[in-house]
Structure 1
Amino acid sequence: MLSNLPAFIIAMSLLTITPGLDTLLVIRNTTRGGIRDGLITSLGICLGLYVHATWSAIGVAAIISHSPSLFAGLKTLGALYLVYLGVCGLRALRSGAGLIAKDTKQQQVSWRRSLKEGFLSNVLNPKTAIFYLAFLPQFINQQYSIWLQSMLLASIHFGLAMAWQGGLAMTLEKAKNWLSNDKINFRLQCATSLMLLGLGIELIVSVYWGN
């Protein structure tokens, strides 16, 4: 049913491990309240993905029904966004800023607070909304239910994000030292940025020269 699923898994895996707002929130909350705080925060973040997937499905369905050519343009926009992320990542290599705060003081935090912080951080993030609207159409097969496919794609993203963020929360001390290493930072940023750039270009080619 889904179109080009391996490419989606690769792209989402790269985007998941690339440090961003969600990752930093999980790190901050794990540092604040321990592994439980970090895991519940990650759960809240990942539940928010279904909200974005639902709005994306509604928007994509409307676009397809009115203009197939506009749908192709939307797919191109999503591919260009990957290129943009790759270029930004490569440009960021010139900056030596650290990714992780090293404050290890912990406190007791309500699970409701952790869940709410994660959920609202994701749902209210306009970048995530725009990303889902522009990116998910790359992998939607117009012959099947757009909403169901969007939910399946969000579920894959859910699993990848929970695995990464949960693993990061459970190994925070080790991950802090690893990610704070300048050489590791440089190599991870370089590798993920180049792969995002290449994947974006490949998707652009598939839109206009694919079968």
Structure 2
Amino acid sequence: MFGTHDLALFILSALLLNMAPGPDSLLIMTRSASQGWRAGSAAALGIGAGTCVHILAAALGLSALLATSATAFTLVKLIGAAYLIYIGLRMLLAQRPNSAPNKNPSALEALPYRRIFLQGFLTNVLNPKVALFFLAFVPQFIAPEAEHKALAFVLLGLIFNLSSLLWCHFLAFFTAYARSKLRVSRSAKLWLTRLIGGLFAALGVKLALAEHA
């Protein structure tokens, strides 16, 4: 249909792949736990916007540059890694939250939703491995005889992104709900924030050390 094949298998695979943990999921859970589901939703929408950039770039052949040019891959990789490490360091350096009732009870600094959206967007769009993933995964479900392969690629990419948004919003709601039911001390929240910051920094280092495929 529309130049694709095994669509049901693609949807199932996309859902399972989106459930795999990574920087995107970590950001959504962190923001949902600190500011509620709306903040997690803002991060998820930013990630979805970043995915749309990868989809269009891959469909237009721009992502092929990352696959063939070690210089381009390394440049984007280092920028993305630096951004993840920056987020991680901000969390690692978090201070004990103010005890005043009108202050954010989380150790993590509260941000406007537009900035959280931008965080999600940059976390996703600056990861060259996402671009390479689309180049490697999506074409497997495009029929060789398809007349408009780019259109089929965009269609499959949007289906993938829709499943991603559904999962990410479930993650945001679930994390916010769990946060409302759990009673965690301020000191524990501080150390949890620092632990998550360490994970972000580690993911940044891992991305920086990733080799060009």
Tell me the TM-score normalized by structure 2: 0.57
Which of 122, 128, 133 lines up with 1:130 in the alignment?
122
- 1:82 and 2:77 equivalent? no
Deviation, 1:190, is 1.6
**Matched residue, 1:18:** 30
Query: Is the alpha carbon distance of 1:170 and 1:196 closer, same or farther for their aligned partners in structure 2, counting shifts above 3 Å?
Result: closer
Cα pair 2:84 2:203 within 8 Å, conserved? yes
Cα pair 1:87 1:193 within 8 Å, conserved? yes
Which of 192, 195, 199 lines up with 1:191 in the alignment?
195
**Matched residue, 1:58:** 56
Deviation, 1:56, is 3.3
Query: Is the alpha carbon distance of 1:165 and 1:100 closer, same or farther for their aligned partners in structure 2, counting shifts above 3 Å?
Result: farther
Uncovered stretches (5+) of structure 2, i.e. residues with no partner: 1-12, 107-112, 139-152
Query: Is the alpha carbon distance of 1:16 and 1:154 closer, same or farther for their aligned partners in structure 2, counting shifts above 3 Å?
Result: farther
1:5-53 alpha-carbon deviations (Å, 9 max, x no partner) = 69x6233332222136x9625369xxxxxxxxxxxx94x8746643432
1:158-200 alpha-carbon deviations (Å, 9 max, x no partner) = 41x333322245456424x43xx21221221121111111121
Query: Is the alpha carbon distance of 1:155 and 1:144 closer, same or farther for their aligned partners in structure 2, counting shifts above 3 Å?
Result: same
**Matched residue, 1:155:** 163
Query: Is the alpha carbon distance of 1:57 and 1:75 closer, same or farther for their aligned partners in structure 2, counting shifts above 3 Å?
Result: farther
**Matched residue, 1:104:** none
Deviation, 1:55, is 2.3
CA distance in 1, matches of 2:197, 2:211: 21
CA distance in 1, matches of 2:116, 2:193: 26
Query: Is the alpha carbon distance of 1:11 and 1:151 closer, same or farther for their aligned partners in structure 2, counting shifts above 3 Å?
Result: farther
Tell me the TM-score normalized by structure 1: 0.58
* Secondary structure at 1:199 match in 2: helix
- Which residue identity lines up with residue 92 of structure 2 in the other structure? L
Q: Quick check: which one's helix share is greater? A: 1
- Which residue identity lines up with residue 181 of structure 2 in the other structure? K
Query: Is the alpha carbon distance of 1:202 and 1:65 closer, same or farther for their aligned partners in structure 2, counting shifts above 3 Å?
Result: closer
Query: Is the alpha carbon distance of 1:195 and 1:124 closer, same or farther for their aligned partners in structure 2, counting shifts above 3 Å?
Result: closer
Number of residue pairs the alignment of both structures matches: 168
Query: Is the alpha carbon distance of 1:170 and 1:51 closer, same or farther for their aligned partners in structure 2, counting shifts above 3 Å?
Result: same
